[in-house]
Structure 1
Amino acid sequence: MTSHNAALMMAGLIGSFGAVIHGMLTQSHLVAPVRELTAARISVPVQKLVTILLQFSTFNWFIGGLLLIAAACLSGQEARQAAGLLVGSSYLFAALGNLWATRGRHPGWIVYGVALGLILYGLTEPGA
């Protein structure tokens, strides 16, 4: 395995593990309190929809991480570039959004920034 493939794989692992932690924290710190506050005013179907929407980024980052791992192991250069662009744009949005929303006081922007750097390195394989 080349260092470029290893970088893509590491970015995928960071993304997937970060997504799992994000999902647990989102559930306990956002979904549950919102459900408690809105239970009397919002119908159950809407509460379920809010839960799904709050966890959508978790799902996206987890699947993106798996895609990066698969791209590092199985795919040709064009598929790697497509996966890197798709997942990298998601991780870039996560990093910038987190940095902006928390004014840098949350490690999420650093974690996804590192993953983004690894994706960029993984896609710059010489001779490809």
Structure 2
Amino acid sequence: MNWQDAALLAAGMIGSIVAVIHGILTQRLMVRPLQESGSTKQPKLVKMLVPPLLQFSTFNWFLGGLALIASIWFEPDVKLAIGLLVGSSFLFAAIVALWASRGRHPGGLLYAVAVILIVFGINL
């Protein structure tokens, strides 16, 4: 394994692990309280749509991490495509998390590190 593959593997592991932690915290701190609230002011459609929408980013980041891990077995062009797609998702997550928390969000910092590793891994 060369250092580019190691960088992609590390970025994929960071992405998947942070996604799992994000999913657990989102479920515990946002989805569950929303579902347990007896508020009748929210339409039923909102109560049905909000939980999966809150977890959509978790799903996207987890699969992106797995794709980065799997990319080490593919050709450079495929690595580039996977790196650009997943890297753009991770970059957006890092920017939003760091902006919203004024730089104090651990997930934002980890996704920023993952983006740097992706850039090294795809040889831009």
Please give the TM-score of this superposition, normalised by the length of structure 2.
Answer: 0.93
Gaps of 5+ in 1: none
- Cα deviation, 1:9-39, whole Å, max 9, x if unaligned, reads 1100100011000000001111122333464
* 1:106 paired residue number: 105
**DSSP 3-state at the match of 1:9:** helix
Instruction: Say whether 1:53 aligns with 2:38.
Output: no
Q: CA-to-partner distance for each residue in 1:55-105, whole Å, 9 max, x for gaps?
A: 000000000000001101x21011000000000000000000001111112
Stretch deviating more after TM superposition (41-50 or 2-11)? 41-50
Q: How does 1:78-93 map to 2 (within 5 A)?
A: 78-93=77-92
Unmatched runs of 5 consecutive residues or more in structure 2: none
Identity across the alignment (%): 53
Give me the CA root mean square deviation: 1.5
Task: Report how many aligned residue pairs link the two structures.
Answer: 124
Cα separation, partners in 2 of 1:9 and 1:38, compared to 1, 3 Å: farther
Query: One-letter code of the match for 1:62?
Result: F
1:109 deviation in Å? Answer: 1.3
